[in-house]
Amino acid sequence: MTRRLLSRLANPQLLALAGVLLINWFLFPNFFRITWQDGRLFGSLIDVLNRGAPVAILAIGMVGVIATKGVDLSVGAVMAMAGAVAATLVVAGYPAPVAVAAALVVGLLCGLWNGFLVAILDIQPIVATLVLMVAGRGIAQLITEGFIVTFTDPVLIFIGTGTFLGLPMAAVIAIVLLVMVTLLVRKTALGLFIEAVGVNRAAASLAGIRSRMLLLYVYGLSGFCAAIAGIIVAGDIRGADANNAGLWLELDAILAVVIGGTSLLGGRFSVPLAVVGALIIQAMNTGILVSGFPPEFNLIVKAALIFLVLIIQSPLATRIVPVRMPAREASK
């Protein structure tokens, strides 16, 4: 039992996360120090959790999409839209719950729209979601009428910056979402169906899986998650910035999912490992920031990481180190 747990912990993603954290510790000896102050935890690690939460939430939605051999490029723009909707509604005097609910509905509708294009009209996901990636930011700017809409609503601000049990609210939301989505896909047959559609959609349809409905669900979930991330980011800066909220975050989310071991060719996926992927990215960001390197380094280090992941997943590498999967099966 413990051996099984150990072998689970010894997967490449967790080792990579540990590696990045260790490097951070060398560069910045106080990296692991966590203090308790004013009823909340402080420290670089907590920072990683807090700052990494939006991308982690996007990755939770994105992983299902990528597992079906798709991709959702629109999540950054959907974040901006959701933030704009929530901000303008509270500024217009609506209570925060209404504003949040409206933003979530907008995100869900965006996701369903993507799902409609992909599942019903059979448009390639990268093109289908590009539509909303471009249009979404425009719609967000229309909603905010081109301004940064600032607000003072305490509930929204709490969602972005508050704490719960000493942990940043954003991290708490990400953890709750992680647990819920993981249970949803693993305790029902949804996970199996998603993987089946991703591995072979034709065979899935012949085996009696309603692949179109399933695609609608996964894109809908991705839009919903993007809306949550958008609300958090808006609450964090106390305003909706249609131009910059969520900008390029879709790429970080995709990277997180890929680092988490889900292939862009679809199939096997893991929600927790996608979140670990998001934490790896954030740990690098934070590490570079606290160690005093100029932030430009960030892009280069990230590029190097992408390169490394691609090499590891390339057909060449799987040929050189071929027998990992079967060997594990045989030893059982």
Partner 1 sequence: MPDEQFALEARGIVKIFGNHIALDAVDFGLRAGEVHALLGENGAGKSTLIKILTGAYQPDGGQVLANGQPVYLDNPQQAQGHGIGTVYQEVNLLPNRSVAENLFLGHQPTRFGLVDRRKMEREARTILSRYGLEIDPSSELGAYSVAVQQIVAIARAVELSGKVLILDEPTASLDRNEVERLFEIIRDLKARGLAVVFITHFLDQVFAVADRVTILRNGKLIETRALDDMSRTDVVRLMLGKDVAFSGATGVEDARPMGEVLLDFSNYGRKRSVHPFNLTIHKGEVIGVAGLLGSGRTEMARIMFGADAADEGEVSVAGKKTTIARPTDAIKHGFGFCPEDRKAEGIFGDLSVRENIVIALQGKLGWFSALNRDEQLEIAGRFGEAMDIRAASLDMPVKLLSGGNQQKVILSRWLATDPAFLILDEPTRGIDVGAHAEIVRTINRLRDEGLALVVISSELDEVVAYSSRIVVMRDREMVAELNGENINPGVIVQAIANHRDEELA
- Contacts (CB under 8 A) with partner 1, residues 248-287: 267-268
* CA of residue 188 relative to chain centroid, distance: 22
> Which CB sits closer to partner 1, 11 or 205?
205
Type of residue numbered 296: E
Cβ 189 to partner 1 shortest distance, Å: 4
> Which CB sits closer to partner 1, 1 or 92?
1
Query: 163 has which bridge partners?
Result: 168
Tell whether residue 236 is a contact of partner 1 (CB under 8 A): no
Binding flags for partner 1, 159-188, as an x/- string (CB under 8 A): ----------------------------xx
Please tell me the count of residues contacting partner 1 according to CB under 8 A.
Answer: 26
Q: Residue 314 has what DSSP assignment?
A: S
Cα separation, 110 vs 251, in Å, equals 18
* CA of residue 81 relative to chain centroid, distance: 17
Cβ 291 to partner 1 shortest distance, Å: 40
* Stretch of 130-138, 162-170, 192-200, 220-228 contacting partner 1, by CB under 8 A: 192-200
Cβ 110 to partner 1 shortest distance, Å: 23
Listed residue (227, 257, 233) closest to 245, CA to CA: 233
Cα separation, 79 vs 59, in Å, equals 13
Tell whether residue 229 is a contact of partner 1 (CB under 8 A): no
What is the three-class DSSP state of 208?
A: coil
Listed residue (52, 226, 218) closest to 133, CA to CA: 226
Tell whether residue 8 is a contact of partner 1 (CB under 8 A): no
CA pseudo-torsion sign 214, 194, 306, 14: positive
Give, for 40, the enclosing helix (H) or strand (E): strand 40-42
Type of residue numbered 137: R
Tell whether residue 1 is a contact of partner 1 (CB under 8 A): no
Listed residue (259, 290, 288, 55) closest to 177, CA to CA: 55
Tell whether residue 15 is a contact of partner 1 (CB under 8 A): no
Tell whether residue 315 is a contact of partner 1 (CB under 8 A): no
**Among 29, 39, 208, 315, interactor with partner 1 by CB under 8 A:** 208
> Which CB sits closer to partner 1, 34 or 192?
192
CA atoms within 13 Å, Cβ hemisphere of 222: 35
> Which CB sits closer to partner 1, 90 or 197?
197
Tell whether residue 209 is a contact of partner 1 (CB under 8 A): yes
Tokens 């907590």: give the residue. Answer: 46
> Which CB sits closer to partner 1, 4 or 295?
4
Q: How far is CA 127 from CA 66, 164, 192, 288, 309, in A?
A: 14, 40, 26, 34, 24
Tell whether residue 141 is a contact of partner 1 (CB under 8 A): no
> Which CB sits closer to partner 1, 39 or 332?
332
**Among 31, 193, 219, 224, interactor with partner 1 by CB under 8 A:** 193
The residues of the shown chain that bind partner 1, judged by CB under 8 A, are: 187-190, 192-193, 195-196, 199-200, 202-210, 267-268, 325-326, 329-330, 332
